[in-house]
Chains A and B, each alone.
Chain A
Amino acid sequence: MANTSGLLRYEEFFKPGSSLARERPEPKFPALLLPALNPLLANGLCRGTIAEVSGQRSSGRTSVAMHILAQATACGEICAVIDLYNNFYPASAQAAGVELNRLIWVRCRGNAEHAIRATDLLLHAGGFGVVLLDLCDAPARVLNRIPLSYWYRFRRAVEHTPAILLLCADSPQAKSCASYSIELKPKVFYWTGKAPFLLLRGMEAIAMLRRIRSLSVALPVSSLQVMV
C-alpha cells in the first residue's frame, strides 16, 4: 500500500512534457463584447488572440471590422489601423462609431513589408485594444510573399496581452494562428423607393464562423444586416 501511494504522488508531481505544454494560463482580460455579432460570438472576442474577417468585395467585411473598432474605442481603448492600400475612409469609420481621436492610422501605400513591420512594432509596443491589419484587395502574389512564421510571431506577441489582432482580407491568411475566422458572403442589397428614384438602405450578408478557439462548439452560420 505504501508503495502504491508513493507512486501516485510521483505521478501527480511529475508530468509528461506533452501535458505540460498544453497547460497554458488563460488570459484574464475581459472579452470585447460585440452585441451586433451575438449570433456568431455570444461571448465576444477573447483578448490576446488573432481574429480574421474575410470575404469578397461588398461582403460587409469592412463594416464588421469597423464595428469591432467602434466597440473597442467606445470602451476607451486606443486602436490602430494598418492600411495596406490606403482604403480606410475616416468619415465612414466615424459614422460607424469609431472614435478617431483614439485611432492610429498607418498608410503603407501598397508596401506589404511595411504593413507587416508596422503591425509587428505596434503589437510589441503594447497597450492597444485592437490592431487592424487591412489586407483587403491585395493580390495573391503579395499575400503569398508574407512568411507563415509572421503569423506565429504575431500570435506570440498578442497572447497574454489585452490586444486583439484583427485581420481583414479577401481570404483567410493566418491559418491555424487565428483563433476566430469569420467568413462573409453578400446576400442581398436593400433599396427603397421605385426606379429611377431608389435609395440605398443597406445589405445583408451571410456570416460563417470558420474557426473558434474552443473547437467543441458547433460553428454557427448567421445572417448579418448592415444598414446605412
Chain B
Amino acid sequence: MYACVYVADPQAGQQLLALALEFSPAVEQASPETAVFPIGALRTLIGSPYQIASEICRLGHERKLEANLAIASNPDTAILLARHFSGVTLVSAGEEHLKLAPIPLQSLFAYDTTLDPVLLEILQRWGLKTCEDLAGLPERGVAERLGKPGVYLRRLACGAIDRPLRVPAPVTNYEERVELEHALHLLEPLLFLLGRALGELCSRLRSQSRAARVLGARFDLEEDTQRLRANPYCCELEFPVPLDQAQTILKLLQLHLERHPPEAPVTAFTLRVDPVEPRRIQGGMFLPPTPPADKLQVTLARIAAMVGQENAGTPMLLNTHRPDAFQMTGLNMDAAGKSPNARPEAGQKIRLAMRLFRPALAARIRLAGTAPKAVTAVGIKGTVLRCAGPWKTSGEWWTSTSWAREEWDVALDDGGLYRIYCKLPVVKWYIDGVYD
C-alpha cells in the first residue's frame, strides 16, 4: 500500500517531504507538491490503513499543512486520487478503477507529461471523456489502434500499474577529514588514523556498489617559525583498477608517503576518493589464472618503491623505427586478462634474441677498408671472423631524437656475436648488443 500527500502550494514542498520522511525513508517526490511513500511496514507499527491515514492527518494538522491524502495499492493511483479528490481517500485493492472512474482524461495527461497530446485528441474524437470510458475499452483493441502508449494509458485509467517507487539515490560524501589535537611527526601513527578514515570511505563505497579509482590526500602541515603559513601537502594516487579494500589502498598510500614524506608534522588530513563502477570480470574456465589485481598493484608499488617508478612496468613499443624505442606503462589487467591470440606458428622454432647494452658500449674498431677487423671495448676484445653489413638506418631528422647509423653484425673470435654500429655524422663506434 502507498500513501500520497498532495498540497496545492508548491512552496510547501520541503514541509511535505519532511512529513513523508516521518513515516518512511523511501519517498518519491515526482513534483514539489506530491509525495508518495510506502505504508506496508507501518501496519504492524500503527495499525490498519485507516489508523495510518489518521496518524498522517494528525501530523499534517500539527504542522499546519493543508493537503489531500490518498491511500491505494499502487503509487500512480494514489497520486491521481490525491490530486483529484480533496480530503482523505482510501481505496481497497481491486477497487481502483471504480474510484478513478470520474477523473477526466486530461488529468492523466497532466500527471504524466511524457504522454503525447495527440493521443488525447484521438481519444476525445472517439468520444471518451473520463477514465471510466477508457477503462471500458478492450485492451487488445486499444493496443491495435494506439500501440504501447495507449495500453499504458488504459492501465493507468484502470489503476493497474504496479511499479516500484522512484526514490532518488542518497548523495554520499566520499570525503573524510580528520583534525588532530597534536601534530604527528611519525608515519606510523599517521597510518593508523589514515587506515581508520580509509575504512570508513571504503565501507561507504561498498554500500553503494562503488570502488575507488583515484585517491586524493591533503595533509595540513604544522606552522613553523620560518614559514608562518605552511603549504598543505597534497598527493593523488591513481589505481590501474578500481579498489574497494581499505588495506590495499592504505598500503599503496603508505608506499607513496614513504617515498615522498610530508615536509613538516601533520596537523590534519583530508582523504577523498572518486567513486567509479567496480571491476567485475568473470574468469574463463580454460584461461590460466592471473595475479589478483589488488595484490598485484601492491606488489608492483613495492617493487617500484625499491627500483624506481620508471623501472617497473610493462614495455610498450613506440610507433617508430628508432632503435630501442619503448615506453614503460602500467600493466593493463583488462587487456592481459583477455584470451590470448592463437598463433600456431609460434613455438615451432626458436627465434634469435638479442640483449642490448644500455648505454651502448663505446668501442674502438680497427677497419680493413670499410669493414671492421678488430673490436675493443670494456669487457670485449676480439678479431672479427665474419661480418655482415653495413645496414644504414636514419630517421626522425626533423626532431631532437634523430638518428643516423651504420650497423654491422660481427662474429668475434671470443665466441660472441655482436651488433656494432657507427654513429653518423660523427664517426663514433659503439657495441649495441649481443645476439644470444
Instruction: Show the binding face of A for B, using Cβ within 8 Å.
Output: 33-37, 56-67, 70-71, 73-78, 86-97, 99-109, 111, 114, 117-118, 121-122, 125-129, 136-137, 162, 186, 189, 191, 193, 195-196, 198-200, 202-203, 224-228
**B 384-436 contacts with A by CB, 8 A:** 386-388, 409, 411, 414-417, 433-436
Looking at B326, B353, B388, the one whose CB has the most chain A CB atoms below 10 A away is: B353
Q: Residue-by-residue, is B6-30 near A (CB-CB < 8 Å gives 1, otherwise 0)? A: 0000000000000000000000000
Q: Are A89 and B312 in contact (CB under 8 A)?
A: no
Q: Are A126 and B436 in contact (CB under 8 A)?
A: no
**B 295-321 contacts with A by CB, 8 A:** 295-296, 299-300, 302-303, 306-307, 311-317
Selected contact of B331 from candidates A78, A202, A225, CB within 8 Å: A78
Inter-chain contacts of B341 with A (CB < 8 A): 74, 99
Cα distance, A109 to B310, chains bound together (Å): 12
Knowing A102-B336, A126-B291, A198-B386, the reply to whether A64 touches B350 (Cβ < 8 A) is yes
Cα distance, A202 to B290, chains bound together (Å): 35
A sample of 17 cross-chain residue pairs with beta-carbon separation below 8 angstroms, ordered by A number, consists of A33-B347, A57-B414, A58-B416, A61-B436, A67-B350, A75-B340, A87-B356, A89-B433, A97-B346, A104-B300, A107-B312, A127-B291, A127-B295, A162-B289, A200-B435, A203-B417, A227-B352
The 4 A-B residue pairs whose C-beta atoms are closest, nearest first, are A127-B291, A62-B436, A90-B315, A76-B340
Q: Are A94 and B317 in contact (CB under 8 A)?
A: yes
Cα distance, A60 to B351, chains bound together (Å): 9
Q: What's the least CB distance linking A104 to chain B, in Å?
A: 6
Q: Are A87 and B358 in contact (CB under 8 A)?
A: yes
Chain A residue at minimum C-beta to C-beta distance from B293: A127
Q: Check: B288 CB closer than 8 A to any chain A CB.
A: yes
Q: Are B307 and A109 in contact (CB under 8 A)?
A: yes
Q: Check: B348 CB closer than 8 A to any chain A CB.
A: yes
Selected contact of B348 from candidates A35, A57, A59, A127, CB within 8 Å: A35
Looking at B316, B332, B347, the one whose CB has the most chain A CB atoms below 10 A away is: B347
Cα distance, A92 to B434, chains bound together (Å): 11
Q: Are A96 and B311 in contact (CB under 8 A)?
A: no
Chain B residue at minimum C-beta to C-beta distance from A30: B288
Q: What's the least CB distance linking A176 to chain B, in Å?
A: 26
Q: Are A78 and B347 in contact (CB under 8 A)?
A: no
Cα distance, A125 to B287, chains bound together (Å): 19
Inter-chain contacts of A105 with B (CB < 8 A): 312-315, 328
Cα distance, A174 to B295, chains bound together (Å): 27
Cα distance, A35 to B345, chains bound together (Å): 11
Knowing A70-B347, A97-B347, A99-B340, the reply to whether A189 touches B314 (Cβ < 8 A) is no
Q: Are A70 and B346 in contact (CB under 8 A)?
A: yes
Q: Are A129 and B317 in contact (CB under 8 A)?
A: no
Q: Are A58 and B435 in contact (CB under 8 A)?
A: yes
Chain B residue at minimum C-beta to C-beta distance from A185: B415
Cα distance, A49 to B420, chains bound together (Å): 37
Knowing A78-B331, A199-B388, A203-B435, the reply to whether A91 touches B324 (Cβ < 8 A) is yes
